[in-house]
Amino acid sequence: MPYGFTAEHLALIEKVRTFADEVVRPAAYDYDRKRELPMQIVAQLGELGLFGLPLPTEYGGAGKDYTSFFLAVEQISRVDQSLGVTLEAGVGLGAVPILRFGTEEQRRTWLPDLAAGRALGAFGLTEAGSGSDAGGTATTAELVDGHWVINGSKQFITNSGTPITSVITITAVTGQTTRPDGTTAPELSAILVPAGTPGLQVGPAYDKIGWHTSDTHPLTLTDVRVPEANLLGERGRGYANFLTALDEGRVAFAALCTGAAQGCLEEALGHAKEREVFGRPLEANQHVAFTLAQMATRVHTARLAWVEAARLLQAGQRFKQQASMAKLVCSQAAAANARDASQIFGGYGFLAENVAARHYRDAKVLEVGEGTTEVQLGVIARELGLCGTGFGPTPPAASVPDHCGAAPAVGERTEPAPLRAVR
């Protein structure tokens, strides 16, 4: 089997690929122009069971492995990145943190609708002053009379303003903690905020250069009150838990990037075979043929990268470095393939109705979302035991040479936590 996929994986690929080609692709240009998330197609993704693929059956999911979910994301993203990231974020940032860190009551409250695609979840981390430096969160949550009172703002939050958004996980400073050296640091916790809670304001959608139909909004929280029981995971573990969720999300995002790279290859290959220039097919031009060969190699390399990261994830082994490598390699493959595909199309590659042109426009954010290229390089360098990364959260002491003089960050574990079963 290619890439170690099972017969069940291949059957899923065929099912989702057919849906993407027959339903998503023909409609993509129309809803891209409207800059609207196609809720009817989102509902169909739910009916196909894609939102529930990696979630346990007791919460309405399909109980499949993570590779199945990543394959679905790849196939949808092959024809439309906006819809691909809607699926990826809905599961990876909306549902999985609740599965990983939530109480049984929280899981049973939120996961069935999220698994069925009847609802979408979001994760509110990024702020105007804290993106890659998530430890700089300024949003606060104070415990008052059994309720968290939250004040602050978030930005670039995917799936936060759709008609079916049901819950947004907000990271907020809930106090101060003391480090081993006696200094203090913000205590960062995660809190579930139901959509429509008084004081939660969803701002106008961003005017983005790409991902036009992905739902993305800023959020303002003014004296938002939610029950104390809405704390997600342990108090003070919000940052550490987020890092865990982010590692898993990077593998899914890498699959999204691979889908985009594959889509660019397929579009360019079809055009090169059909287009005639100077009395012969465009593919007969050696430069074009070599460009397509390079594009195919990028797709193959990208897929190998995320499949290996997924294998380690599913085995419960440490995969942080492989997740960042996959995200780095796959995003670069997508950006390069989008550029080459648009060039092969010539003038047609500059028209928004062209799938390759939309990939070209969308590809820039692939090098930013789920951690920038520079963040990935920093993570990989730290995993190699290097201390000269210059930014980002302090790594676990066990992974840093003595000469670096780093102390473990508050709330960050020094050993990978075992992966909770998701079947």
Residue 243: band (very low, low, confident or very high) from pLDDT cuts 50, 70, 90:
confident
Q: Please check whether residue 260 is in contact with residue 82, taking contact to mean a CB–CB distance below 8 angstroms.
A: no
- Please name the residues in contact with 202: beta carbons below 8 A apart, sequence gap of 6 or more: 160, 161, 217, 218, 219
Task: Give the SS3 label for residue 208.
Answer: coil
**Beta carbons within 8 Å of 14's beta carbon, 6+ residues apart:** none
Which CATH number applies to 122-236?
A: 2.40.110.10
Lowest-confidence segment of 5-19, 153-167, 281-295, 375-389 by average pLDDT: 375-389
pLDDT tens readout for residues 138-156 = 999 999 999 999 999 999 9
Closest by Cα among 92, 8, 11, 86 to 45: 86
pLDDT for the residue 276: 86
Catalytic one of 58, 308, 370, 374: 370
Per this entry, what is the length of the chain?
423
Q: Which residue has the higher pLDDT, 413 or 164?
A: 164
Q: What is the pLDDT of residue 387?
A: 75
59: pLDDT confidence band, cut at 50, 70 and 90?
Answer: very high
Q: What is the pLDDT of residues 102-126, one digit of tens each?
A: 999 999 999 999 999 999 999 999 9
Whether residue 232 contacts residue 308, with contact meaning beta carbons closer than 8 Å, is answered with no
Report, as an integer, the average pLDDT of 178-200. Answer: 91
For position 402, what pLDDT does the model report? 53
* Per-residue pLDDT band at 401 (split at 50, 70, 90): low
User: Predicted confidence band at 239 (pLDDT cuts at 50, 70, 90)?
Assistant: confident
Lowest mean pLDDT across 39-53, 187-201, 329-343, 382-396: 382-396
State the Cα–Cα distance between residues 68 and 341, nearest whole angstrom. Answer: 28
H helix runs in 1-54, sequence order: 7-19, 25-34, 39-47
DSSP E strands, 195-305: 200-202, 216-227, 231-232, 276-277, 280-281
Greater pLDDT, 182 or 362: 362
pLDDT score for 324: 97
Q: How far apart are CA 271 and CA 259, in angstroms?
A: 18
**Which CATH architecture describes the domain 2-120?**
Orthogonal Bundle (1.10)
Find out whether 200 and 172 touch, Cβ atoms under 8 Å: no
Contacting residues for 84 by C-beta, under 8 A, at least 6 apart: 73, 74, 76, 77, 78, 256, 259, 260
Residue 309 has φ and ψ, to the nearest 5°, of -60, -40
Strands 216-227 and 165-178: unpaired
Average pLDDT for 263-279: 94
Joined tokens for residue 122: 């979001």
Sorted by where each begins, the domain ranges of the chain are: 2-120, 122-236, 241-404
Provide the pLDDT confidence category of residue 412 given band limits of 50, 70 and 90. very low
Closest CA to 139 of 168, 97, 115: 168
Average pLDDT, the chain: 91
pLDDT at 390 over 80: no
All residues at 6 or more sequence positions from 52 whose CB lies less than 8 Å from its CB, including other chains:
60, 61, 62, 114, 115, 116, 117
Instruction: Render pLDDT for 15-44 as a digit per residue (tens, 0 to 9).
Output: 999 999 999 999 999 999 999 999 999 999
Cα separations in angstroms, 74 against 12, 17, 157: 11, 9, 21
Q: Is the pLDDT of residue 362 over 50?
A: yes
Superfamily covering domain 241-404: Butyryl-CoA Dehydrogenase, subunit A, domain 3 (1.20.140.10)
Q: What is the pLDDT of residue 63?
A: 96
The answer to whether residue 234 is catalytic is: no
Confidence band, pLDDT 50/70/90 cuts, at residue 177: confident
